[in-house]
A and B are shown apart, each in its own frame.
Chain A
């Protein structure tokens, strides 16, 4: 058993196999369904098959809602670990998008009061979904190397701004509706064949930096963008996440493997805790690279350059 626990919530989309392999504990989050009932979501599709969920979401995007675990739920989860005498590193979804960070802080304080010897460290990932999950996997890998909890927490603080997304979202209607995209008031619906290219900003929200017409042009721009921003690809596990874009994700995976020779490219799922807010149409790679510039100025220039090359 690891001497400190690494915990995330279900918005991290850490795949089940990675949770098992790297000993990452996922705290379930709330999903409200169109029927009005609520389910707690962790990290598999057992309760709601994937295709069914996304088909239902398309039909009734407003019928679904998400909510973070409550302070009491966090307290319970933390207490279970504390009772074992273990410290906790809890990595949270971006504070800019959810109340999770504050809730978990309150819970951590309560548990630490009760267990004065236990340390609970909450770290804001400034990301959501797959880049948040990838960060947690990296944290667990650092722990495997023998790093202390403080060292792992420091690693995240220092590197969280290096988590990139090179992807397109060809249906932005839900992302815009749920406020997970910058300038959500502007029109971002579904446009036939147009591939809006997005990257995450400092708060974890997605910004559209350019648009490619057609998938061929889209892949070209994405690969160019990755090339310009990725660092040491051959040492990385790259996640590809998609929502109902399996075929494109597989094609993208092949291209990335050919071009960058990473250790592994893993096609990841987006579970309902994030899927409700993203909708269908996401197809992107998530990796560690150069620090993201303020206001995405440099990233935008790269995308514009790649688009101009055609």
Chain B
């Protein structure tokens, strides 16, 4: 059944859902912010404004009482141009509904109209193509379609659709949006709020788990007490054109030291000599002011003539602008693909780095990598697709587990595509990376090339038994050497003979590879404890037995396996 009237409790739940929705899209809105100054904080400001307003409300079943406390709270929590406009909008909305304990669609329509008018009034020079246009046309274009029988859901759906439609034309109205190829950030922020409110009515509670945690906010975008800014974004060589963003609440004072007869229009007029993007709202003996200015002293002087500051904020917008450009650059430099290899051994690590892997994780002797390590590596790579080259089957699982963890941490929308290749050892990883063509621009093709490298690789490994072991091929005592072929123990080498026989045992292992006659390449990773002489002994024997084999040896330094040999 559709909702014909909403009360204070429902409205609160709707606003809370709206708040969650903008929270989910906060960074996206920040990145769209190019007007009036590209300081990249619209999403954060709108969220904080609404959040602050909601925090100050008390439970009230009456819509008008709830809205009264909300709008009052928002006036004080309003941050930034968009936040102030938003607070003014809801102030107008409240004024229209100040006698309504419950609200119908038609009443809400009238309130939205009063809301946008109030928002227009708050801005000294209203600019079309912004949140103002969207809130105005969004309701004006549908006002005739809403009547006494319209459910609230329908009214909000139409409102939302109309605002989205208007949003698409904002670049036509405002050149800076067109140049940057974006829509107005304040407008889209407002749309997210309304969308969240409507979703509540449809029973869709927006999950707080999707909240962007402060830790994942980019540096300089954290929310309290003010942006944490990397000060390196502004130095003696910076060009200062954006000015300061100034916000304060002025308490007008009685007494002979202060001017009487504060008139908002005159005050705004005076302010407009010092800057732009001026928003000033009077609430009895307090006035909340937002201005972008290069002359903060003049603004302070003029304001202080009437009273004293209750709150005050001054931000160098150039710093945020420069910071945003850096972020944008980072976005542009995002690699289409990065490769993470899991290996063990210093030499193996450097081999994989030389091969062009973007990150190399050392699995250590246990050959187990906690999912956390993967998540850390994923986070450090600025890539759309991340390809993982595991070195054993356990690693494949850990890498897949890490994918889920990482998605929870940063959210599905920011999640790079993770491709875990089924490399079961470093030899397969080596051939995978070697077969990739760095000239290839198509990521899917590069992945296919890597996969082709894994196919048909046989991997031999030699180590010593730490306890007795037997299977159909061997009967090992502790300390015996043995050789595995693709993880299966196929040959033993008794401890007593090991000194003389280890190399022959490996050669016999190579001979056991089913299609050895078709193989042409032999890649050897020398483990911990092997010597140059050992290497010559082995490579001489391979050259003797397989004269056409292309042999390469890397001093891998891996623990556990003295030799890992990939044959392809």
By beta carbon, the residue of chain B nearest A190 is B552
Is A77 part of the binding interface, using a Cβ–Cβ cutoff of 8 Å?
Answer: no
Chain B residues closer than 8 Å to A305, beta-carbon distance: none
Complex Cα spacing A210 to B523, Å: 21
Is A83 part of the binding interface, using a Cβ–Cβ cutoff of 8 Å?
Answer: no
Is B333 part of the binding interface, using a Cβ–Cβ cutoff of 8 Å?
Answer: no
Chain B residues closer than 8 Å to A189, beta-carbon distance: 354-355
Q: Chain B nearest CB: distance from A190 CB in Å?
A: 8
CB pair A213–B521 under 8 Å, yes or no, is yes
Is A211 part of the binding interface, using a Cβ–Cβ cutoff of 8 Å?
Answer: yes
Chain A residues closer than 8 Å to B522, beta-carbon distance: 192-193
Interface string of B544-568 (1 = CB under 8 A from A): 0000001110000000000000001
Is A188 part of the binding interface, using a Cβ–Cβ cutoff of 8 Å?
Answer: yes
Interface string of B68-94 (1 = CB under 8 A from A): 000000000000000000000000000
CB pair B435–A193 under 8 Å, yes or no, is no
Interface string of B455-475 (1 = CB under 8 A from A): 000000000000000000000
Complex Cα spacing A307 to B435, Å: 11
Q: Chain A nearest CB: distance from B440 CB in Å?
A: 9
Task: From the candidates B434, B437, B518, B519, name the one contacting A192 in the complex (CB within 8 A).
Answer: B434
Chain B residues closer than 8 Å to A276, beta-carbon distance: none
A residues 213-268 in Cβ contact with B at 8 Å: 213-216
Chain A residues closer than 8 Å to B509, beta-carbon distance: none
CB pair A209–B439 under 8 Å, yes or no, is yes
Complex Cα spacing A54 to B522, Å: 25
Provided the pairs A186-B356, A187-B354 are in contact, do residues A192 and B551 lie with their beta carbons within 8 angstroms?
Answer: yes
Complex Cα spacing A200 to B435, Å: 20
Chain A residues closer than 8 Å to B552, beta-carbon distance: 192-193
By beta carbon, the residue of chain A nearest B551 is A192
Chain A residues closer than 8 Å to B436, beta-carbon distance: 211
Is B190 part of the binding interface, using a Cβ–Cβ cutoff of 8 Å?
Answer: no
CB pair B437–A214 under 8 Å, yes or no, is no
CB pair A211–B354 under 8 Å, yes or no, is no
Q: Chain B nearest CB: distance from A196 CB in Å?
A: 7
CB pair A192–B550 under 8 Å, yes or no, is yes
CB pair B439–A193 under 8 Å, yes or no, is no
CB pair A183–B521 under 8 Å, yes or no, is no
Q: Chain A nearest CB: distance from B540 CB in Å?
A: 17
Chain B contact residues, majority secondary structure: mixed
Q: Chain A nearest CB: distance from B499 CB in Å?
A: 28
CB pair A194–B434 under 8 Å, yes or no, is yes
Is A141 part of the binding interface, using a Cβ–Cβ cutoff of 8 Å?
Answer: no
Task: From the candidates B434, B452, B518, B519, name the one contacting A191 in the complex (CB within 8 A).
Answer: B434
Complex Cα spacing A193 to B434, Å: 10
CB pair A214–B438 under 8 Å, yes or no, is no
Task: From the candidates B439, B445, B550, B568, name the one contacting A207 in the complex (CB within 8 A).
Answer: B439
CB pair B550–A183 under 8 Å, yes or no, is no
Is B453 part of the binding interface, using a Cβ–Cβ cutoff of 8 Å?
Answer: yes
Is A135 part of the binding interface, using a Cβ–Cβ cutoff of 8 Å?
Answer: no
Is A182 part of the binding interface, using a Cβ–Cβ cutoff of 8 Å?
Answer: yes
B residues 407-463 in Cβ contact with A at 8 Å: 431, 434-439, 445, 449, 452-453
Is A153 part of the binding interface, using a Cβ–Cβ cutoff of 8 Å?
Answer: no
Provided the pairs A194-B434, A213-B568 are in contact, do residues A187 and B520 lie with their beta carbons within 8 angstroms?
Answer: no
A residues 147-179 in Cβ contact with B at 8 Å: none
Is A14 part of the binding interface, using a Cβ–Cβ cutoff of 8 Å?
Answer: no
Provided the pairs A183-B439, A186-B439, A192-B551 are in contact, do residues A214 and B434 lie with their beta carbons within 8 angstroms?
Answer: no
CB pair B437–A215 under 8 Å, yes or no, is no
Complex Cα spacing A188 to B440, Å: 13
CB pair B435–A182 under 8 Å, yes or no, is no
CB pair A193–B437 under 8 Å, yes or no, is no
CB pair A188–B354 under 8 Å, yes or no, is no
Complex Cα spacing A211 to B437, Å: 7
Complex Cα spacing A196 to B520, Å: 15
Provided the pairs A189-B354, A193-B521 are in contact, do residues A213 and B437 lie with their beta carbons within 8 angstroms?
Answer: no
CB pair B449–A216 under 8 Å, yes or no, is no
**A182, A189, A191, A210: most-surrounded residue (chain B CB, <10 A):** A191
Complex Cα spacing A186 to B436, Å: 11
Provided the pairs A192-B551, A193-B520, A193-B521 are in contact, do residues A186 and B434 lie with their beta carbons within 8 angstroms?
Answer: no
Is A208 part of the binding interface, using a Cβ–Cβ cutoff of 8 Å?
Answer: yes
Task: From the candidates B356, B445, B518, name the one contacting A187 in the complex (CB within 8 A).
Answer: B356
Complex Cα spacing A152 to B517, Å: 51
Complex Cα spacing A108 to B438, Å: 41
Chain B residues closer than 8 Å to A209, beta-carbon distance: 437, 439
Chain B residues closer than 8 Å to A208, beta-carbon distance: 437-439
Provided the pairs A192-B550, A196-B437 are in contact, do residues A214 and B520 lie with their beta carbons within 8 angstroms?
Answer: yes
Complex Cα spacing A189 to B431, Å: 14
Chain A residues closer than 8 Å to B438, beta-carbon distance: 183, 186-188, 208
User: How many B residues have CB within 8 A of the partner chain?
Assistant: 24
Pair count A-B, CB < 8 A: 65
By beta carbon, the residue of chain A nearest B568 is A213
Complex Cα spacing A192 to B452, Å: 16
By beta carbon, the residue of chain A nearest B553 is A192
Chain A residues closer than 8 Å to B520, beta-carbon distance: 193, 213-216
Chain A residues closer than 8 Å to B431, beta-carbon distance: 213
Complex Cα spacing A187 to B357, Å: 10
By beta carbon, the residue of chain A nearest B549 is A193
CB pair B356–A192 under 8 Å, yes or no, is no
CB pair B435–A214 under 8 Å, yes or no, is no
**B434, B445, B518, B552: most-surrounded residue (chain A CB, <10 A):** B434
By beta carbon, the residue of chain B nearest A198 is B439
By beta carbon, the residue of chain B nearest A189 is B354
Complex Cα spacing A81 to B449, Å: 54
Provided the pairs A187-B354, A192-B434, A193-B520 are in contact, do residues A214 and B439 lie with their beta carbons within 8 angstroms?
Answer: no
Provided the pairs A211-B435, A213-B435 are in contact, do residues A187 and B355 lie with their beta carbons within 8 angstroms?
Answer: yes
CB pair B521–A192 under 8 Å, yes or no, is yes
A residues 82-130 in Cβ contact with B at 8 Å: none
A residues 265-310 in Cβ contact with B at 8 Å: 304, 307
Complex Cα spacing A216 to B439, Å: 23
Complex Cα spacing A307 to B455, Å: 13
By beta carbon, the residue of chain B nearest A176 is B438
By beta carbon, the residue of chain B nearest A170 is B550
Complex Cα spacing A214 to B431, Å: 11
Q: Chain B nearest CB: distance from A174 CB in Å?
A: 16
Complex Cα spacing A183 to B520, Å: 28
Task: From the candidates A182, A191, A213, A307, name the one contacting B439 in the complex (CB within 8 A).
Answer: A182
CB pair B453–A193 under 8 Å, yes or no, is no
By beta carbon, the residue of chain B nearest A187 is B356
By beta carbon, the residue of chain B nearest A191 is B434
CB pair B437–A210 under 8 Å, yes or no, is yes
Q: Chain B nearest CB: distance from A304 CB in Å?
A: 8
Q: Chain A nearest CB: distance from B438 CB in Å?
A: 3
CB pair A214–B354 under 8 Å, yes or no, is no
Q: Chain B nearest CB: distance from A261 CB in Å?
A: 28
Task: From the candidates A183, A187, A194, A207, name the one contacting B435 in the complex (CB within 8 A).
Answer: A194
By beta carbon, the residue of chain A nearest B550 is A193
Complex Cα spacing A214 to B522, Å: 10
Chain B residues closer than 8 Å to A191, beta-carbon distance: 355, 434
Complex Cα spacing A307 to B440, Å: 14
Chain B residues closer than 8 Å to A211, beta-carbon distance: 434-437, 449
By beta carbon, the residue of chain B nearest A296 is B439
Complex Cα spacing A189 to B356, Å: 10
The 6 closest A-B pairs by CB, nearest first: A193-B521, A186-B438, A192-B552, A187-B356, A214-B520, A193-B550
Q: Can you list 30 contacts pairing A with B, beta carbon distance less than 8 Å?
A: A183-B438, A183-B439, A186-B356, A187-B354, A187-B356, A188-B438, A189-B354, A191-B355, A192-B522, A192-B523, A192-B552, A193-B521, A193-B568, A194-B434, A194-B521, A196-B437, A207-B439, A208-B437, A211-B434, A211-B435, A211-B436, A213-B434, A213-B453, A213-B521, A214-B519, A214-B520, A214-B521, A214-B550, A215-B520, A216-B520
Residues of A within 8 A of B (CB): 182-183, 186-189, 191-194, 196, 207-211, 213-216, 304, 307
